[in-house]
Structure 1
């Protein structure tokens, strides 16, 4: 007999105070949980309307459940489940952009948050500026009903301005350096082209706090759905699986101070997020990417599988040795202790975080996760053989063929360009890919040419595992 479908628990809904663009698994495992905890502690109307910017899949899975779902903590000693019911609705932007703008323009909405991934900001990763050649931005310049995340932000702020309402706070939750300043910049870039007076109002009245978010959230599988049903006796088509750890550092800069009681939920409200952001982007996201490319090439399906291999366990430790001199520790945090804690999180066998999943969109991730550290190490005269091998691993991966000759399903907004630019040989591939200035600024590329070519020659002539062993010997 099939299990009953999960439904929303009885009780009143909170009013909607947040619209979230990009309602994927991460935000449902992270932001929705924090907001739920904040309302349980201190009340407030902070219900969330989620927006899917591309696919109706999340809406279709959650609607029969009245937007409720299970949050599943994957602890080493066994999973723990919890029902999250903070969502009030889920909209699908391509189906009804007007509904999305109306929700964002509602006076009760105080925050619009985002997890749209690096590519969702339609910017140039090397410079941070809005890419006006992007097809969605071209559309949004001339249409009132937008397609892009920056377009929705600008057009919704335009409606609030025209209605005499204060702006909402724009709260980005994506892994980007100086993410608040970056989203502010792309919003103002677009707004200036549409209406300079609107841009001036946003610049004066808007708030774009920076954040650092951290919780490993693997993609949910059919096996996960079956496991949740066995654990709870309820069928949930959209559970989210995540590690026990979570951390949210938020710059406390909101329009009129309006926000949930995130402190009560365990968030760190700070004046400056930079140190938290750099530490996490470089030490966690940087090594996650390094392990994803080299681990995938070595035949490892997940991060936990990869670090269970003693060669890659030593390799990630070497990466941290190269990264830590370029990181200023936040107050009260020991970087070696943070690295030890990261290793324990990576090694958690309950977290099946696939190397292929982390490897997606590398052209957008490399500048933030690896290239900033490499630039600082070069300036300081520090060698970075493990990090250069990570860049070479990305190059081998995006060339589209693995070490056995099999085809790699490369998911990247520049996938076709990367594949066509790469060659069969290591030196040619390095030279060709380093010439892509949308990823590698020319001055940095010149400095990387020799060490990355050396790493790539090692990788192509031996194997990912052997190369990792050599740079840590």
Structure 2
């Protein structure tokens, strides 16, 4: 990590009144925050939102543009209440530290000007304010009530069943959105745009499906009105943002002399690609690097297969070899070589060209981001939730290769490494803690695969038809037998030499 000398002056609490004194230590807002007015209500004021969306808005305000698009925070969960309390004490300001290996860069951002009390009724009132033209969301993938089997909206989820029967007293953010849209229609106010900023494919379509699915259960006529009148643009979002803990709070205090109860650290890289579908208008975010396109899908596919697939590729190989940090894994020629060869030979050929985008440059940028030693990203984090991540980031690439008659030896090896990881032992014999909603089943199947490799593939909800695809199954079986006999280092060495 870069060495930054500790601050030698007094530590100051983050607050509007402290900004003049902090101006020599970090970049502070150059705009008059009192002159801002709201345009966006955002639900889910976590680290990613502040590192990404709120930072883009802040940079736009710095240009003197669109000061009528400030953000009002909101939430529905107990942790939202805790975040509201922290940010209220510092006038809704946040310290953002970009973890650049060549030196940390810190800014205080002021694009959020208020935070609605954690109360569904007050949130509905806030959403019916005529100034609010966009309601945006970062509620995580689990917050959209998706079916594990279909990937679509799950009308049988207990929270959704309760919500549909709530009789005007919503308990989920989507119930609140429906109630607020209905209230706006009743007074002749145009509907706001619903803008998902969550890191999941076709996030706008997912948000639309959840809103319409819930509305259909309670009021089919109003569901039709929403389908006709409300925009749900898709977007692709990207910025690696670790969680905040005592280490990050102490870093901001000792390095920059700021007492911030909820600072954010992130990588210097950001990307936001969005469909331009905002009937009630939008801020001029293209002036600060947001790409507005007709179709986000090609960009999503590029990210899912190269970046997310790349994370999966290094995760289990690195874990079995005993690496803890991602940057240490990328310094291992076997892990970095596996990523590079797999990406070039099997992943990249499945990603269609995007006009104006260099895939080679994107691949190089991804590898550089993974190697960022200042970020402190961990291999255990990348290994989380494999039963959800593999079907999104790896298995579709295998299907695409098989559909064109191409080999899948490297991708099958990645699945093999995941299987071996699920058996619970690193190559040095130490125990692996498997954190996954299907952990028990995965371990059982992985242990059974020691004698019968194909046993691991007999999970239809994960592998589907791939479990019966001869080219993939044969490659998986051969790789697993080799891995069991020779170990991770030897198998990766052979793969790189092939």
Q: Structure 2-normalised TM-score?
A: 0.85
Report whether the alignment pairs 1:292 with 2:315. yes
Instruction: Output aligned runs, 1:69-468, within 5 Å.
Output: 69-90=94-115, 96-124=119-147, 127-143=150-166, 144-256=168-280, 258-321=281-344, 322-397=346-421, 402=426, 404-408=429-433, 410=435, 412=436, 414-415=437-438, 418-419=441-442, 422-426=445-449, 434-440=457-463, 442-447=464-469, 448-468=472-492
| RMSD of aligned residue pairs (Cα, Å) | 2.7
1:2 Cα shift? 7.1
Distance 1:435 1:353 in 2: 32
**Alpha-carbon distance, 1:48 to partner:** 1.8
- 8 Å contact 2:163–2:170 — kept in the other structure? yes
Q: Deviations over 1:227-254 (max 9, x none)?
A: 2222221111211111222111111011
Does residue 59 (structure 1) correspond to residue 67 (structure 2)? The answer is no
CA distance in 2, matches of 1:265, 1:4: 30
CA distance, structure 2, for counterparts of residue 17 and residue 233 of structure 1: 32
Gaps of 5+ in 2: 1-8, 20-31
Instruction: Report deviation, 1:155.
Output: 3.7
CA shift digits 1:286-333 (9 cap, x unpaired): 111222333233322222111111100101112212111110122122
User: 2: distance between equivalents of 1:53 and 1:297?
Assistant: 39
Contact conserved, 2:449 with 2:456, CA < 8 A, in 1?
A: no
Give the corresponding residue for 2:28. none
**C-alpha separation in 1, matches of 2:496 and 2:176:** 47
Q: Mean alpha-carbon deviation: is it higher for 457-466 or for 237-246?
A: 457-466
Deviation of 1:167 after TM superposition, in Å, equals: 1.9
2: distance between equivalents of 1:50 and 1:393?
42
Per the TM alignment, residue 40 of structure 1 is displaced from its structure 2 partner at its CA by: 2.8
Instruction: Note if contact 1:13-1:88 (Cα within 8 Å) is conserved in structure 2.
Output: no
Distance 1:129 1:465, change over 3 A: same
Gaps of 5+ in 1: none
- Decide whether aligned partners of structure 1 residues 53 and 360 sit closer, same or farther in structure 2, where only a CA change above 3 A counts: farther
Q: Tell me the alpha carbon deviations over residues 207-238 of structure 1, each in whole angstroms, 9 at most, x when there is no partner.
A: 11111112222223422222222222111121
- Asked if 2 retains the 8 angstrom alpha-carbon contact of 1:276 and 1:329, the reply is no
Encode CA deviations 1:61-102: one digit per residue, 9 max, x unaligned. 322212211111111210010001122334575xx2333333
Helix, strand or coil for the counterpart of 1:424?
A: helix
Q: Distance in 1 between matches of 2:467 and 2:144?
A: 24
Distance 1:356 1:124 in 2: 26
1:25 aligns with 2:25: no
Contact 2:10 / 2:257 at 8 angstroms: preserved in 1?
A: no
* Counterpart check, 1:36 vs 2:64: no
- Is contact 2:238-2:272 (8 Å) kept? yes
Aligned-partner Cα distance in 2 for 1:108–1:176 = 28
User: Is the 2:60–2:287 contact (alpha carbons within 8 Å) kept by the matching residues of 1?
Assistant: yes
Residue 416 of structure 1 and its aligned partner are, at CA, apart by 5.3
Conservation of the 8 A alpha-carbon contact between 1:430 and 1:449: no
Q: Deviation of residue 465 (structure 1)?
A: 4.2
- Distance, in Å, in 2 between the alignment partners of 1:431 and 1:21 is 44
TM-score, scaled to structure 1:
0.89
Give the Cα–Cα distance (whole angstroms) in 1 for the partners of residues 409 and 115 of structure 2.
46
Aligned equivalents of 1:15, 1:434: Cα separation in 2: 55
